[in-house]
């Protein structure tokens, strides 16, 4: 009697189909799955997913942060956020930081990286300008300084009476900037704060882009040079498209850092908010609400909104990059 998997040859002989043997789980396979899959998954669930779920629950309570009891209030904290003008101002400030800071930082970092890698002589081997190593070291130096120190340094630079900035501007004849309050003026407080954050991040992303550009074959630049392309055309048509992944990663990380900005803003504005809350960010308002007002449930709702804004920002960047890449591939 033959089974359904057996075959009969033209001569009448029955050819048995090979039996499939199930792979047995061995101790090595089980231990590998536990160590390299189970442990990381457990750590992720305990230290990432669990705190987020817990925070989501706290955001729906009236917990004051110190009492063991709390009452469930549902979505009232989020409804209250929509009517909180101070929080809405903080959200707008975070959006401005998330759009402007990454764009300006990446633009400056790309310019410096291009200069020190491929902007040297127009003849001969493709290389950067003379002394490129020194420029890389100097540009990277600010990133080695802690953020709180950067904020304190620039707070002194912006000082109206004894700051270096006003002293320099008045020394070259711009006397209208004598005793000018850069951090106390509604118009200049946010741009001045943005520059501090940009200055602190330029060095790291310059080094990141230098490494990415060095991965582009020199023959590519030589071919573009022979075609008569200028430096700007080369950067837009060759450099940026070929290091797109590095730019995308940089924009996401910079956007996340800019959406927070707690350390920089706290150093520049110890009393939080700046003039008319023009520099207030969500993390500052969250801190004030939780630890100064004792409203941890309401503050946690702010944290949930900040997390949602951050995820939305990352998703938008991914979508924009994917759409632009698909458009170029379709040409």
**Range scoring the smallest mean pLDDT among 60-64, 88-92, 119-123, 285-289:** 119-123
Q: How many CA atoms lie within 13 A of 209 on its CB side?
A: 32
**Residues forming a β-bridge with 7:** 15
Helix locations, 173-237, DSSP H: 189-214, 218-226, 231-234
> Average pLDDT in the 222-228 region?
77
CB atoms within 10 A of CB 292: 10
**Residues forming a β-bridge with 61:** 72
Based on C-alpha coordinates, what's the Rg of the chain? 29
pLDDT attached to residue 136: 72
Better pLDDT: 14 or 325 = 325
pLDDT in tens, 32-74: 777 778 888 888 899 888 988 999 999 999 988 888 888 999 8
pLDDT attached to residue 9: 58
Contact present, 243 and 113 (Cβ < 8 Å)? no
> Average pLDDT in the 241-255 region?
88
Q: Which helix (H) or strand (E) holds 14?
A: strand 14-15
CB atoms within 10 A of CB 320: 12
Residue environment code for 8-47, b if the CB has 16+ CB neighbours within 10 A, otherwise e: eeeeeeeeeeeeeeeeeeeeeeeeeeeeeeeeeeeeeeee
pLDDT attached to residue 211: 86
pLDDT in tens, 89-116: 999 999 999 999 999 999 999 988 888 8
């Amino acid at each position: 009697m033959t089974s359904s998997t057996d075959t009969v040859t033209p001569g009448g002989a029955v050819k048995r189909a090979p039996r499939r043997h199930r792979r047995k789980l061995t101790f090595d396979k089980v231990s590998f799955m536990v160590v390299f899959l189970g442990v990381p998954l457990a750590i992720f669930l305990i230290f990432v997913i669990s705190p987020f779920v817990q925070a989501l629950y706290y955001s729906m309570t009236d917990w004051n942060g110190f009492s063991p009891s709390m009452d469930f209030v549902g979505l009232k904290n989020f409804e209250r956020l929509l009517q909180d003008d101070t929080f809405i101002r903080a959200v707008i400030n975070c959006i401005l930081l998330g759009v402007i800071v990454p764009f300006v930082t990446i633009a400056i970092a790309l310019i410096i990286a291009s200069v020190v890698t491929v902007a040297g002589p127009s003849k001969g081997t493709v290389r950067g300008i003379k002394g490129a190593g020194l420029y890389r070291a100097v540009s990277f130096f600010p990133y080695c300084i802690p953020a709180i120190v950067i904020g304190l340094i620039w707070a002194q630079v912006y000082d109206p009476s004894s700051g270096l900035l006003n002293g320099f501007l008045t020394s070259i004849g711009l006397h209208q900037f004598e005793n000018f309050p850069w951090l106390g003026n509604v118009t200049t407080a946010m741009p001045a704060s943005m520059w501090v954050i940009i200055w602190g991040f330029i060095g790291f992303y310059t080094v990141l882009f230098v490494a990415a550009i060095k991965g582009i074959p020199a023959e590519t630049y030589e071919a573009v040079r022979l075609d008569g392309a200028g430096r700007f055309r080369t950067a837009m048509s060759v450099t940026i498209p070929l290091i797109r992944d590095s730019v995308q990663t940089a924009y996401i990380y910079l956007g996340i850092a800019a959406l927070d900005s707690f350390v920089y803003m706290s150093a520049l504005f110890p009393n939080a908010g700046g003039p008319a809350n023009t520099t207030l960010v969500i993390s500052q308002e969250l801190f004030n609400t939780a630890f100064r007002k004792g409203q941890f449930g309401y503050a946690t709702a702010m944290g949930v909104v900040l997390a949602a804004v951050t995820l939305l920002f990352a998703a938008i960047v991914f979508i924009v990059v994917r759409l632009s890449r698909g458009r170029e591939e379709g040409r």
